[in-house]
């Protein structure tokens, strides 16, 4: 994950010559330990008070991280992710803050995130272990997602009407900038579409993209009120599950934005009629929704082109041409 180091460090408070530097809400730890596993054991036992770690089971991982289930002497289960050779502000701070923002809404089953931090050989994040099952009912998911979007954002800047997030994060492996911005059109134009177009570095896409970006207001009625809401940011089927029948979301690329932007990955989420009916029963479908859906899909298609290349180019070009034809 890519984050602002300044934003991260501004949230730390020094504790003299003690073993760690800790965030005031005890959410983030910077440790001098030379071993991540040793530090995880210490944090779970001493900082969280969950008892000693008696079992640490490898749960799989990726090219950059490993996942573990930690079971303690008090019967607690903690899910841990580690990254060797990478700092927490680069890997886990955005996930920590994103999970916390969604958890605070109380609308969905989100794992309670405990801490993220550094150890000598890398970094880690610790959160509540949840036994994930397949997706819940489509209708319940739609209702709960709408309630998250309708909830008051936990961040004061978002409450004041600004779009963005505490830190920059990533969408997949792509940096996702989130500076606080006072209008949604500016935020989406500069920090979403133009950002991805620059990364693509393709002349044809850039020409089409600039035509679109210079006329974004066409897709937003003058009387349309857009308020910052808490977004998961990468809502596809792989990040949707259920816990005891309640919808659960994991692995966010969170920020505060337009609620409709949440559906930019719907081509990979499997949302059906029951989902949309339940969602729009609480947040009515606004005029121009379909065209804006293409806009928000474009952002994610451009990101997939930047990540994977290949066939995504044609989909990006087609979306751009369709949108530009409506200007």
State whether the Cα torsion 227-233-238-239 is positive or negative. negative
Phi, psi of 210 (to 5 degrees): -70, -35
47 is catalytic: no
Burial of 157 (0-12, 13-18, 19+ CB in 10 A): middle
Catalytic residue among 168, 182, 234, 291: 234
Cite the beta strand spans of the chain per DSSP E: 12-13, 20-23, 28-31, 53-61, 66-72, 77-84, 113-119, 122-128, 169-171, 174-176, 229-231, 240-243, 246-249, 255-257
Both tokens of residue 281? 């029963």
- The C-alpha atoms of residue 135 and residue 47 are separated, in whole angstroms, by 33
Q: What distances in angstroms separate CA 112 from CA 19, 103, 105, 126, one per listed residue? A: 25, 7, 12, 9
Residue 235 · residue 262 · CB < 8 Å: yes
Q: Locate tokens 């010559």: which residue? A: 17
For residue 35, the Cα-to-chain-centroid distance in whole angstroms is 28
Residue 150 · residue 108 · CB < 8 Å: no
Pairing of strands 28-31, 113-119: parallel
Q: What is the dihedral of CA 125, 128, 130, 135, to 10 degrees?
A: -70
Residues labelled as active-site residues: 234
């Amino acid at each position: 994950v890519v984050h602002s180091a300044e934003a991260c460090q501004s949230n730390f408070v020094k504790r003299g010559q003690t073993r760690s530097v800790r965030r005031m809400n005890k959410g983030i730890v910077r440790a001098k330990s030379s071993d991540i596993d040793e530090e995880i054991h210490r944090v779970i036992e001493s900082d969280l008070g969950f008892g000693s770690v008696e079992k640490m089971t490898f749960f799989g991982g990726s090219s950059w991280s490993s996942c573990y289930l930690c079971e303690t002497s008090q019967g607690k289960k903690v899910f841990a992710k580690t990254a060797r050779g990478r700092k927490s502000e680069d890997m886990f701070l955005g996930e920590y803050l994103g999970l916390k923002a969604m958890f605070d809404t109380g609308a969905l089953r989100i794992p309670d995130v405990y801490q993220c931090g550094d150890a000598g050989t890398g970094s880690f994040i610790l959160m509540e272990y949840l036994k994930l099952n397949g997706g819940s009912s489509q209708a319940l998911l739609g209702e709960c997602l709408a309630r998250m979007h309708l909830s008051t954002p936990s961040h004061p800047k978002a409450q004041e009407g600004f779009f963005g997030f505490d830190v920059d994060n990533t969408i997949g492996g792509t940096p996702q900038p989130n500076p606080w911005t006072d209008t949604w059109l500016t935020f989406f134009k500069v920090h979403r579409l133009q950002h991805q177009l620059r990364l693509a570095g393709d002349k044809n896409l850039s020409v089409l993209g600039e035509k679109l970006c210079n006329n974004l207001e066409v897709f937003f009625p003058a009387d349309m009120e857009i308020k910052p809401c808490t977004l998961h940011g990468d809502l596809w089927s792989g990040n949707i599950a259920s816990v005891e029948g309640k919808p659960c979301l994991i692995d966010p690329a969170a920020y505060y934005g337009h609620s409709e932007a949440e559906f930019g990955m719907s081509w990979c989420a499997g949302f059906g009629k029951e989902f949309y009916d339940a969602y729009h029963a609480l947040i009515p479908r606004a005029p121009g929704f379909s065209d804006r859906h293409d806009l928000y899909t474009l952002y994610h298609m451009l990101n997939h082109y930047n990540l994977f290349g290949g066939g995504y180019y044609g989909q990006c070009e087609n979306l751009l041409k369709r949108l530009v034809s409506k200007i």
